């Protein structure tokens, strides 16, 4: 098959959603790999904790890992329960277990709870995916409210730091932490100034924690930098 014809392509219908938005209202619907990704058992016996897996990249990662044999625990916002339920359905459709925990990763105690719940449900933690993120666009720098700048950093940077800090002591050598950075780290859009700054911070945080985690625990830390999806 011609790869250019495999998936929907622009132009797409104009559509607008109030934040945080819902994957159920996307037109055309997103492809999370339900029928287009085939697993090969690469993660049999592993357990993954993923933040923000109710939709988007996080849901695709959860389904991919499930198809590879991993059990999944993921975090989501309380108002996104319906999307979270769909992620559970997809993971269970791949014959894996899924546990969804609602809450706010900006709070250190919630991040610790996520790690504790993962160990409680599955007895181990092998993979941490720091994926949840907050993003808003502004055409003028002066229009960005202080509370929104703070929320972006608290979600994207603090949440990643808190989860990594809580998870590392519970992980065994050979474990892995994966941070969702962004192409915005390297080519930031002016309208995404706070978001791009957090992703640049995550790239730096990934490099420093990679050295510490490998020396202290034998855990690998990597970042991925997706473009538009």
Q: Cα separation of 167 and 115, whole Å?
A: 6
Active site residue 37: no
Q: Cα separation of 130 and 133, whole Å?
A: 9
| Catalytic hit among 32, 65, 134, 195 | 195
Q: Cα separation of 207 and 185, whole Å?
A: 13
Q: Cα separation of 75 and 83, whole Å?
A: 12
Residue 13, exposed/middle/buried by CB under 10 A (0-12, 13-18, 19+)?
Answer: exposed
Q: Which of 190, 194, 175, 188 is nearest to 225 (CA)?
A: 188
| Alpha-carbon torsion (158, 172, 213, 97), positive or negative | negative
Q: Which residues are catalytic?
A: 195
């Amino acid at each position: 098959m011609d790869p250019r014809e495999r998936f929907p392509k622009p132009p797409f219908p104009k559509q607008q959603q109030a934040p945080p938005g819902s994957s159920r209202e996307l037109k055309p619907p997103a492809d999370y790999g339900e029928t287009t990704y085939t697993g090969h058992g690469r993660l049999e016996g592993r357990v993954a904790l993923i933040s923000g897996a109710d939709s988007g990249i996080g849901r695709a990662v959860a389904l991919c890992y499930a198809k590879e044999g991993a059990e999944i625990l993921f975090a989501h916002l309380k108002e996104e329960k319906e999307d979270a339920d769909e992620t559970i359905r997809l993971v269970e459709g791949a014959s894996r277990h899924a546990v969804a925990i609602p809450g706010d990763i900006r709070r250190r105690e919630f991040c610790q709870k996520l790690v504790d719940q993962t160990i409680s449900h599955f007895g181990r933690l092998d993979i941490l995916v720091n994926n949840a993120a907050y993003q808003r666009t502004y055409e003028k720098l002066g229009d960005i409210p202080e509370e929104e700048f703070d929320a972006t950093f608290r979600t994207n940077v603090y949440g990643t730091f808190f989860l990594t800090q809580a998870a590392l002591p519970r992980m065994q050598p050979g474990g892995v932490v994966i941070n969702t950075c962004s192409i915005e780290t390297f080519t930031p859009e002016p309208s995404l100034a706070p978001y791009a700054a957090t992703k640049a911070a995550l790239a730096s945080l990934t490099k420093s924690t990679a050295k510490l985690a490998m020396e202290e625990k034998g855990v690998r830390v990597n970042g991925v930098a997706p473009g538009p999806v």
